[in-house]
Chains A and B, each alone.
Chain A
Amino acid sequence: MMDLAAAEDDASFADLVRLQNVDKYFGAVHALRNVNLRIGRNEIVGLIGDNGAGKSTLIKTMTGVLKPTSGRIFIRDKELSLADYSVQMAHDLSIETVYQDKSLGEKQPLWRNFFVGRQIANRFGFIDIKREKELAAEILMKSIGFRGVGIGVDATVKQLSGGERQGIAIGRAMHFNADLIVLDEPTVALAVKEVRKVLDFVRSIKAAGKACVYIEHNLAHVHAVADRLVVLERGAIVAEITPRDMSVADLTEFLIDLQQKH
């Protein structure tokens, strides 16, 4: 299935992901209202909005965790059959999600965390540990840049700081050639120094020519890295902003005005 993504010619599509008139109901609750959203192939899209605005529902719909009630989803301009769309299919289409603290097995060594779910194994299911460890060490060095801090592939996730965990999860997604990496509030509960590391990882996604959807509460964080901000309010997209045109203070002002209007 990986060939499917690889076979795509670079110029053959306009949008990496496009949601068209997507609605989602949970019973009587209208969680997403007529959402239209495009994600380009090399941009960082910040998704902001209050608790309950529908941010999580939107990314879950985008990544195959939830099925929309109605609407259409296009990936690389090809429409998906919504009935078949799943997390597994999203992986096959090179879309990866990094959840706040649900991405890594705490007590497991890093090398197992890199490859779990898609182990390098022979046909009887026995894992090629040597190969996995070599590759994991390579990912640690290259895409994550853990150098000289004494973290090896045998270290467990428990020994890492919050920022480093995000780095591992993002590095893993990049290693598996994700074209779109969805980050679900990666800086929640992190110290300032750690936040900086995470923002660097987010920038490295863009530098690698990939796209990123970045859900965030903290406006300053998302302002620092996003090319475009999408504001959700009670399930609907109410504004799209280019943060370069605004300071963080202006942005905050703007959002407060917006909330009062709605």
Chain B
Amino acid sequence: MAKPEIEPATSRPTILSRLEGLPIIAVFLVLLIVFMVLAPEVFLSPNIYTTFLSTLPPLMLLAIGLTFVIGAGEIDLSFPSIIAFSGFLFAVTMKEGSAWFIGLLTFLHDSGLSFITVAPDADFTNWFGWIGVVLALLGGLLVGYVNGVLVARVGIPSFIATLATQFFWAGLATVLSGGKSYALRGASDTSVWQWLVGRPLAGFDGPFWTTQLPLQALWTAIIVVFLWFIMNRHRFGEHILFLGDSNDVSRVVGINVEKEKIRLFTLMGGLAALAAIFLTLENKNFFGNQGQGYLLLAIASVLIGGTSIFGGRATIVGTVFGCLVVMIVEPGLVATGSTGAWVLTIRGLIFLIAIVFYLYVDEPARRQAMFARLRQRLEFGRGKPAGKELTGRVAGRDNKGEGT
């Protein structure tokens, strides 16, 4: 039973493993080229790409956070509720904060503190926009921290824990907002809008698309690059990958498993809160279920990108292109004249192919078995006997199937 211990071919890093995210980059380029050929008037003009830059950041932030979570072998289902909860905190503070504050000042003035005066045209919306940002971020971090404690200290599996908190925080957001949506009229005049999701080149001469370049794309890009370094070059990223590999091993090598998990979910909460702020500001509107569409989209982007659902392997570059692939399908299909009804089908198809592909990359044994089966089938077709190099299990199973 002396099996070869090491396959020399797989011991060296292959092209696939050396260039992070190569398969999904290839898929993206193929899709892009196909759409460029089929709908050149849309995909060869820059406007669609500027639109992408304004709509993609929330999904990108969520998917990058999830890359860490899934890489650690956990899952977070609660981020749509963070988008609702943090989005609500942000919107209500920005919209109502100034009026509350003026009301408070007026009350104090009327109660005898006459040195407090309020100008009749006073408006603190600019300030409360930023206070809203802080509150929303704190809210997201809190939700994430609670998730982390539930998973790491209480010991509830993350799927269950975050499913429960998802209902709780989404419910709380609905209760607090009374089911109302908040339209942020005049938001584009506030400094918080201009700094976070503004169009800095809008006042300059240039082609139309440059005037529409959105700032949130820049912030998101900076965060993604930073988190790439964290994942690949930082202690935290390494700990995350070992956690995904095995909690037992992580403990033996001296990783503080509980602490790192709490950090992990807190990071996810913070990123989801930022996504909520970008989304609310970009739409200039908050509504209670604004996060719901992102749950499966974000998970799919991460897995299509090549992060392992079993944990232990995570790729930021893959996730970035996973998001691009998921997002390009819709405008691509619409522009090429298909109905939007195909969008989900095509996404599902890409998802399936990706999952099977990565499974075979992950597990060489399965891949070899599959190729062996394939080879054998082909050889049967040509009337040749089954190859003797096949392992007993595979050969046996196939012989049964084919009969003799």
A interface residues with partner B (beta carbon < 8 Å):
87-88, 91, 97, 99, 102-108, 112, 116-119, 121, 125-127, 129, 149-152, 154-155, 159-161, 164, 191, 193-194
Residue pair B253, A103 in contact (C-beta under 8 Å): yes
How far does the Cβ of B34 sit from chain A's closest Cβ, in whole Å?
33
Q: Which B224-243 residues have C-beta < 8 A from chain A?
A: 229, 233-236, 238-239, 241-242
- From the candidates B236, B246, B313, name the one contacting A102 in the complex (CB within 8 A): B246
Query: Contact residues of B with A, CB < 8 Å?
Result: 1-2, 5-8, 10-13, 229, 233-236, 238-239, 241-242, 244-246, 248-250, 252-255, 308, 312-313
Are A164 and B5 in touch, CB under 8 angstroms?
Answer: yes
Partner of A108, one of B12, B229, B236, B312: B312
Contacts of A164 in B (CB 8 A): 5-6
A88 partner residues in chain B, CB cutoff 8 A: 254
Q: Are A193 and B2 in contact, with the CB atoms below 8 A?
A: yes
State whether A117 and B229 are in contact (beta carbons under 8 Å apart), knowing that A112-B238, A159-B10, A191-B1 are contacts in the complex. no
Would A87 and B229 count as touching, CB distance under 8 A?
no
A159 and B239 contact, Cβ closer than 8 Å, known pairs A108-B245, A126-B233: no
Q: Using CB atoms, name the residue of chain B closest to A113.
A: B253
Residue of B nearest to A99 (CB): B252
With A152-B11, A159-B10 as contacts: A125 and B254 at CB distance below 8 Å: no
Task: Check A119–B252 contact: CB distance below 8 A.
Answer: no
CB closest chain-B residue, reference A116: B253
| Cross-chain pairs A/B with CB under 8 angstroms, 8 sampled | A97-B252, A106-B246, A116-B239, A116-B242, A119-B238, A149-B6, A160-B6, A191-B1
A191 touches B2 (CB 8 A): yes
Decide if A105 touches B249 in the complex (CB within 8 Å): yes
A152 to B234, CA, bound (A): 22
Interface core residue of A88, A107, A164 (most chain B CB under 10 Å): A107
Q: Collect the chain B residues with CB atoms within 8 Å of residue A118's CB.
A: 254
User: Bound complex: CA of A103 vs CA of B255, how far in Å?
Assistant: 12
Given contacts A116-B238, A119-B238, 7 further A-B contacts (CB under 8 A): A103-B253, A107-B241, A112-B242, A126-B229, A151-B6, A160-B6, A161-B6
On whether the beta carbons of B2 and A107 are closer than 8 Å, the reply is no
With a cutoff of 8 Å between Cβ atoms, the chain A residues found around residue B10 in the complex are: 159
Bound together, the chains give a CA A129 to CA B244 distance in angstroms of 20
Contact of A151 among B11, B252, B312 (CB under 8 A): B11
Q: Are B312 and A107 in contact (CB under 8 A)?
A: yes
Contact in complex: B11, A150 (CB < 8 Å): yes
How many Å from the CB of B376 to the closest CB on chain A?
A: 26
Q: Are B11 and A125 in contact, with the CB atoms below 8 A? A: no
**CB distance B8 to A154 under 8 Å?**
no
- Asked if residues B254 and A159 are in contact (CB atoms below 8 Å), the reply is no
Which residues of B have CB within 8 Å of A129?
Answer: 233
Are A102 and B249 in touch, CB under 8 angstroms?
yes
| Closest B residue by C-beta to A104 | B249
Q: Is B5 a contact of A161 with CB atoms below 8 Å?
A: yes
CB-based contact B11/A155 at 8 Å: yes
* B248 touching A106, Cβ below 8 Å: no
B1–A105 CB distance below 8 A: no
Q: Which residues of B contact A119 (CB under 8 A)?
A: 235, 238
Contact B254 A87 (CB under 8 A): yes
Q: Are A106 and B11 in contact (CB under 8 A)?
A: no
User: Shortest Cβ distance from A15 into chain B, in angstroms?
Assistant: 26
- Are A154 and B13 closer than 8 Å at their CB atoms? yes
Residues of chain A lying within 8 A (CB to CB) of residue B238: 112, 116, 119, 127
> How far is it, in angstroms, between the C-alpha of A194 and the C-alpha of B6 when the chains are bound?
13
Whether A107 touches B5, Cβ cut-off 8 Å, given contacts A88-B254, A159-B10, is no
Contact of A105 among B5, B245, B308 (CB under 8 A): B245
| Chain A neighbourhood of B13, CB < 8 A | 152, 154
Question: What are the 3 A-B residue pairs with the smallest beta carbon separation, nearest first?
Answer: A117-B254, A107-B312, A105-B245
